């Protein structure tokens, strides 16, 4: 059912979709061929969106205009049923990954159970702990841990759909979001409100996650970001592209977990 949307509602929906799809304002503005400030004004509801811009947004952010204009629109619906495939270059093995949302949630809860009490573990550190857990496991066992896809963004690898998953967990009372300061900088942290279901994890999976936590969970956001930027899968991927799991096999020390 379509509804008449205010300029502010349209802006809010575009903002939600952008975050859910893992784009920064600057990246999306570049794709739209407008300035970042113009996009910011759209998201705030201070600038109108013409039909051509809305059509372009629907192609970039992959949404239906009918759904977008409906009363019951949600940027995060159906995220746990969509199968995702990694694009592979000619000659590489084809690796098909399917995002396992329930498993991802339990791994997120487990990492937070062990690390949420550490003052350095805000969003930046959390994202990197997830990245290294996924890629280290794939390098060791040639199987996907969560099936999450990571995009190369300016501040490091970020799992796609993480915002949507966290929003679901906040709505269900599984997480609490806390805004704090750490060394004078604003920080977003998440506290687990329920226990992780460890029956969903194999012993080998838990062992890899524990290894990442023991190695990196005390690092600062700056330190772990700089470390991730020198990891070969991140380093050789074009900015904005998805990072191929297959690149984990070309790592060398100290990043390789096979050597």
Q: What is the pLDDT of residue 77?
A: 52
Q: pLDDT tens, 60-113?
A: 888 888 778 887 777 655 444 344 444 444 444 445 567 788 889 999 999 999
Measured between alpha carbons, how far is 81 from 78 in angstroms, rounded to an integer? 6
Work out the pLDDT band at 193, boundaries 50, 70, 90. Answer: very high
Name every residue whose Cβ is closer than 8 Å to that of residue 38 and which is 6 or more positions away in sequence: 29, 47
What residues does 242 pair with on adjacent strands?
A: 151
Which residue has better confidence, 38 or 20? 38
Name every residue whose Cβ is closer than 8 Å to that of residue 214 and which is 6 or more positions away in sequence: none
Q: Is the dihedral of CA 162, 12, 124, 33 positive or negative?
A: positive
Q: Where are the chain's structural domains?
A: 7-68, 86-250
pLDDT more than 90, % of the chain: 17
Measured between alpha carbons, how far is 103 from 123 in angstroms, rounded to an integer? 19
Indicate the DSSP class of residue 118. Answer: S
pTM: 0.64
Measured between alpha carbons, how far is 181 from 191 in angstroms, rounded to an integer? 15
pLDDT more than 70, % of the chain: 89
Q: Which CATH number fits domain 7-68: 3.40.50.300, 2.60.120.10, 3.40.50.2300, 1.10.260.40?
A: 1.10.260.40
Beta strands in the chain (DSSP E): 84-85, 96-97, 150-153, 156-159, 175-182, 185-192
Q: pLDDT tens, 133-160?
A: 999 999 988 889 988 888 887 777 878 7
Measured between alpha carbons, how far is 97 from 78 in angstroms, rounded to an integer? 17
Q: What is the pLDDT of residue 130?
A: 92
């Amino acid at each position: 059912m379509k509804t008449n949307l205010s300029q502010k509602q349209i802006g809010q929906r575009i903002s939600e979709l952008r975050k859910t799809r893992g784009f920064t304002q600057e990246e999306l503005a570049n794709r739209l061929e407008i300035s970042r400030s113009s996009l910011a004004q759209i998201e705030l509801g201070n600038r109108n969106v013409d039909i051509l811009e809305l059509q372009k947004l629907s192609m970039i952010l992959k949404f239906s205009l009918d759904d977008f204009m409906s009363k019951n629109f949600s940027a995060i619906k159906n995220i746990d049923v969509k199968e995702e495939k990694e694009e592979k270059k000619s000659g590489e093995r084809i690796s098909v990954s399917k995002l396992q949302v329930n498993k991802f949630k339990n791994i997120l809860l487990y990492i937070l159970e062990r690390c949420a009490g550490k003052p350095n573990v805000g969003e930046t550190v959390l994202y990197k702990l997830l990245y290294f857990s996924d890629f280290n496991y794939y390098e060791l066992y040639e199987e996907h841990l969560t099936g999450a896809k990571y995009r190369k963004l300016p501040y490091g690898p970020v799992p796609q759909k993480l915002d949507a998953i966290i929003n679901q967990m906040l709505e269900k009372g599984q997480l609490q979001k806390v805004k704090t300061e750490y060394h004078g900088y604003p920080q977003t942290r998440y506290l687990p409100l329920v226990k992780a279901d460890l029956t969903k994890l194999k012993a080998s999976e838990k062992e890899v996650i524990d290894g990442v936590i023991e190695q990196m969970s005390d690092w600062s956001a700056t330190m772990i970001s700089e470390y991730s930027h020198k990891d070969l899968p991140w380093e050789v991927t074009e900015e904005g592209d998805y990072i191929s799991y297959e690149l984990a096999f070309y790592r060398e020390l100290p990043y390789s977990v096979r050597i």
